[in-house]
Amino acid sequence: MDGMLSVSRRSKSICMIGLLLLMAWLPGCLEGESDPPLYDGETSTVTMEIVHAESTTDASLIYTIVIELYHTQAPIHADNLRKHAQAGMYDNVTFHRIIDDFMIQGGDFENNDGTGGYAAQWYGYCDGEAMDSAAECGSQTLYTLPDEADNGLRHLPCMVSMAKTGQPNTGGSQFFIMPDDISEHTWLNGAHTVFGQVISGCEHVTTLSEVETDNYDRPIIPVTIISATVSA
């Protein structure tokens, strides 16, 4: 394993120039124009209920974790996860990649296998490239996040960080959480954006990081977020 948390690359389609020109003549109809502002608090919390079972209805045990988001140190990443959770995008989404003594990774609401996911709204980047407007990007499925990795936060136990491709500014919806039995993943500092911490239930992250997986680090029995609820 190369030590980098990645999102699989997908083929990217480009909208027809004529369509973009038409959209430019329709004020108020461009994606991103009506996006709400960033959350203005210093922190907020997201509570996730997680099961390790063949189906959510068969689960006999629910693991509850509470994530504190750091809106001051990583305002865009924290806002992004908060808005995805508010919209219910993480409900019934799996942790598709789990590595013992390393992390659990999930959040691909698009394909649920690590190949998809995108930003909650327009944050100025399209597939890793800075653009002036959402109209230039052409599709919300290409929305990505600007890196905020140099914020002083480190990949310590129970911290939450953003997965991305090998290129800058390509985070979308996938995130990963460190268990409480590691020391520090120093090689990820400054490369991936840490934007939160599990403040309750991190022992459950550790338990889930130890489930049986296949040769592709996918859990044999699914690990699924059944709900993600936001509170101030």
For residue 101, which of 211, 218, 215 has the smallest C-alpha distance?
211
Domain membership flag for residue 207: yes
pLDDT given for residue 6 in this prediction? 76
pLDDT at 20: 38
Answer yes or no: is 7 within a domain: no
The answer to whether residue 3 is domain-embedded is no
Q: Which residues, 6 or more positions from 225, have their beta carbon under 8 angstroms from its beta carbon?
A: 48, 49, 50, 90, 91, 92, 93, 94, 95, 106
Could you give the number of structural domains in the chain?
Answer: 1
- Does residue 182 lie in a domain region? yes
Asked whether 127 and 12 are in contact (CB, 8 A), the reply is: yes
pLDDT digits (tens, 9 = 90+) for 15-24: 333 333 333 3
Instruction: Look at residues 229, 230, 219 and name the one whose alpha carbon lies nearest to residue 95.
Output: 219
- Average pLDDT for the chain: 90
Domain assignment present for residue 6? The answer is no
Q: In the predicted model, is pLDDT for residue 153 greater than 90?
A: yes
pLDDT tens by residue, 65-76: 999 999 999 999
| 25 has a pLDDT exceeding 50 | no
What pLDDT sits at residue 31? 43
Query: What pLDDT was estimated at residue 4?
Result: 58
Mean pLDDT of 91-114: 98
Q: Is residue 4 part of a domain?
A: no
The reply to whether 5 falls in a domain is no
Question: What whole-number distance in Å separates Cα of residue 200 and Cα of residue 193?
Answer: 21
Say if CB 56 and CB 49 are below 8 A apart. no
Per-residue model confidence (pLDDT) at position 32: 54
Tell me the pLDDT band of 34, cut-offs 50, 70 and 90: confident
* pLDDT tens track for 180-230: 999 999 999 999 999 999 999 999 999 999 999 999 999 999 999 999 999
- The reported pLDDT for the residue numbered 53 is 96
Query: Which pLDDT value is given to residue 48?
Result: 98
Q: What is the C-alpha separation between 30 and 122, in angstroms, rounded? A: 11
Domain of 202: which CATH number? 2.40.100.10
Can you give the residue range of the structural domain that contains 55? 38-231
Look at residue 125 and tell me if it is in a domain: yes
